[in-house]
Structure 1
Amino acid sequence: MIENSASFQASVDFARGIFGEGFIPLHRPVFEGNEKQYLIDCIDSNFVSSVGARVTEFEQKIAAFTGAKYAIATVNGTAALHAALQLAGVSRGDEVITQALTFIATCNALSYTGAHAVFVDVDRDTLGMSADALRRFLESKVERRGGQAFNKATGRRIAACAPMHTFGLPCRIEEIVALCDDYGIPVIEDAAESLGSYVGGRHTGTFGRLATLSFNGNKVITTGGGGMIITDDEELAIRAKHLTTTAKIPHPYEFVHDMTGYNYRMPNLNAALGCAQMEELPKFLAIKAEVARRYAEFCEAQGIALAQARAGTVSNYWLNAIVLDSLKQRDAFLEYTNGRGVMTRPIWRLMTRLDMYKDCEHDGLENSRWLEDRVVNLPSSVPDGAMGKA
């Protein structure tokens, strides 16, 4: 148990032993491969926007790595999720079941569709949506009509379920998908943080009807800004590319658009960066697993609870997270570490505590509230010099 400044200092010293002196960020990008060369090649080709060979190559690399049949690159993860929700049939006035313990992009994306968020609780071990909480909600609050699910209280159609794999820790996605299938609710996995995470050897994001990834500057790999929709459904993949390319009907020179689309396609410059990063991904994941192992040893010695992948799953350990004993202890730890140049941060504020989503239906969120008061993220970058040793 962390109780005093001496044990706080031990945590600071341990982080410096991994990441070195000076300011230690939470997660930084690493560019030690072909990133510069691929960017130069892209500039020399004059194809720097959303039309270019690197976009297609990056999509193919992501599809091959995750095992998804199709991948469609977007400008960021939020755009990917917005498009995926629309592709799944989410419309204005519908409801989407998700978790309140999430980054705001999850809820913002569903709000763009005009849908209403409904929040169910998370599990304390995965930090992701609880299948048990989802089951309780469906059995008590939902009725089936014509092969679709409707909220008994509001009368609204429940058009989708969007669980998230928090910090790369796989949630109980197989159980969630099975429950939703029984109620005719499509699952869109928010896998923004879980590139390189697996459930029983199957990559996260390949269980639902659609899934989305993020390549923001702080993710395991980065394209600066970028996202991806992945799916095994060919028709959805074709529609995804069309929707995110301003819904333009292909033609050598005519400008004909057959629906309201979005300018969401990833530029070739970003994709060039992504192609180089994918070449380094196996090294990144191996090093991050070693960092997580060292954290596990330290936390066990200190009596600190560390969030770890449950049995039968593999985490990419994008961000390591500890669970402290109280809100007071959490705040003291955050102040101490950040004041000494070691960046730590609390988990996100619950969506129900933000003005935009405070009136959304929820199930009490007991675990979510408990975790909000206790979870702290630790520095989790690939350490300087580690790539040469991997």
Structure 2
Amino acid sequence: MRNEWLTFTSEVKKMYEKDFVALHEPTFTDVEVDYVTDCVKSGWVSSVGKYVERFEKELAEFTGVKRAIAVVNGTAALHVSLKVAGVKAGDEVFMPALTFVATANAASYLGAVPHFVDVSENTLGIDPGKLEDHILQIGDYKGDHLINKETGRIIRAVVPMHTFGHPVELDELQAICKKYNLILVEDAAESLGSYYKGKHTGSFGKVSALSFNGNKIITTGGGGAILTNDEDIADYAKHITTTAKIPHRWVYNHDEVGYNYRLPNINAALGCAQLEKMQLFIEQKRKITFVYEKLVDDLTGVRLFKEPEHTKSNYWLQTLILDHTYNRDEVLDFLNDQGVMSRPIWTPLHELKPYSYMPKADLSTTDNLKNLIINIPSTPVSEG
């Protein structure tokens, strides 16, 4: 193992021209400096200013949806997306067990119950076939509502997550949602710039959520956005993310419990500059994929995860899948010791203490993949 992996780490450091290569870093130029400086000079750096509206408009145009509402982070975006989609306290929400904890947290904030389902080896996201098999096993009906006959709770929604930017099988999931009267809410936190059959992820669900954390394909420092094609839902989401304040020149009236989830103008300024470079970032990431594909060919028992059929991925995080001859943690120790920052996939949600008692389906694929997946450096580079 050692010699071929030494060659791999040497080539990665050569590609990035660094002795230590981070997993994913933001890429800034003078454009970001100019926009943020303009924002600072204007004095409008907080929740009001021209860049918030501009960022929302340009996001909607880029993703092909009618409306985008900018918020403070991706978790807030998913929290509100679930709320405005109709998820209520006590409802169960199908979601993959193999996702970042924010997916479950967002549902929990509403008093809803995460219900974990298995993923597909082809997409790393929800497996539609296994989801339907599970529904047939545990599902029943109460009026028009699908219920979990084991708990008696309504199952309200399905939340697929596009893992590392790779789109899930959205046609199949939409069909399941229609058949069983479920709401599709996309966790598109990692998939800005990814497409399923030519259509941008985040435009399939009733509501969807994006993230612009510092390690995402574009960043606003912290930040997220809610996407929807429903104008009424968009208006409501905007209202409750701005503390549910009734518009007035000076009176502070609030008509329900709202959230102070507004994205500051200074963050939106950074986002506008970043969004201008999206196509370039994606092109650069696809170059990295080509380089890694050649490098991984020389590694025994390792494959590079590639975008599923009918999709175009943003390749947010490059992903290696090891075979069972490897000890994942030994590989991670070696890569990080050699200056190539790498990490495992998240601990599956059903193994986390707060969610260990939640309802779940057969999770055999999740349990198999959790010790085989490694993310490697993925920052865009202009040459490769």
Task: Give the TM-score category using the shorter length.
Answer: over 0.9
Contact 1:248 1:258 in 2 (8 A): yes
Identity %: 46
In 2, Cα distance between equivalents of 1:20 and 1:333: 22
**Aligned to 1:111, which of 102, 108, 111?**
108
Q: Distance in 2 between matches of 1:179 and 1:348?
A: 27
Does residue 45 of the first structure (1) align with residue 54 of the second (2)? no
Tell me the SS of whatever aligns to 1:187.
strand
**1:171 matched to which residue of 2?**
168
1:276 aligned to 2:273?
A: yes
Q: 3-state SS of the aligned residue for 2:177?
A: helix
CA distance in 2, matches of 1:79, 1:126: 25
- TM-score norm. by structure 1 comes to 0.96
For 2:50 and 2:141, the matched residues in 1 are separated by: 46
- Contact preservation (8 Å) 2:4, 2:298: no
Q: Distance in 1 between matches of 2:250 and 2:145?
A: 42
Q: Distance in 1 between matches of 2:291 and 2:365?
A: 27
State the 1:133 CA deviation.
1.3
Q: Sort the Cα spacing of 1:33 and 1:61 in 2 relative to 1 into closer, same or farther, 3 A.
A: farther
2:376 corresponds to which of 345, 358, 378: 378
Task: Report the residue type matching 1:284 in the other structure.
Answer: F
Q: How does 1:77-226 map to 2 (within 5 A)?
A: 77-226=74-223
Q: CA deviation at 1:326?
A: 2.7
User: In the alignment, which residue of structure 1 is the partner of 2:333?
Assistant: 335
1:291 to 274, 280, 288: 288
Gaps of 5+ in 1: none
CA distances 1:127-165 after superposition (whole Å, capped 9, x unpaired)? 111101111112221123332211111110112111100
- What is the SS of the residue equivalent to 1:302? coil
2:83 is matched by which residue type in structure 1? Answer: Q
Classify 1:131/1:169 alpha carbon distance in 2 versus 1 (closer, same or farther; 3 Å).
Answer: same
Equivalent residues of 2:76, 2:224 under 8 A apart: yes
Aligned-residue Cα RMSD (Å) equals 1.3
- 2:305 and 2:326 map into 1 onto residues whose CA distance is 19
Kindly indicate whether the alpha-carbon contact (under 8 Å) linking 1:33 and 1:277 is maintained by their aligned counterparts in 2. no
Q: Which runs of 4+ in 1 moved over 3 A?
A: none
- 2:323 counterpart (325, 340, 344): 325
2:239 corresponds to: 242
Cα deviation for residue 364 of structure 1 reads 2.4
Letter in structure 1 aligned against 2:330: A
Letter matched to residue 325 of structure 1: D
Q: List aligned pairs for 1:61-76, cutoff 5 A.
A: 61-76=58-73
Per-residue deviation, 1:297: 1.9
**Which residue is 1:21 aligned to?**
18
- Which ranges of structure 2 fall in alignment gaps of 5 or more residues? none
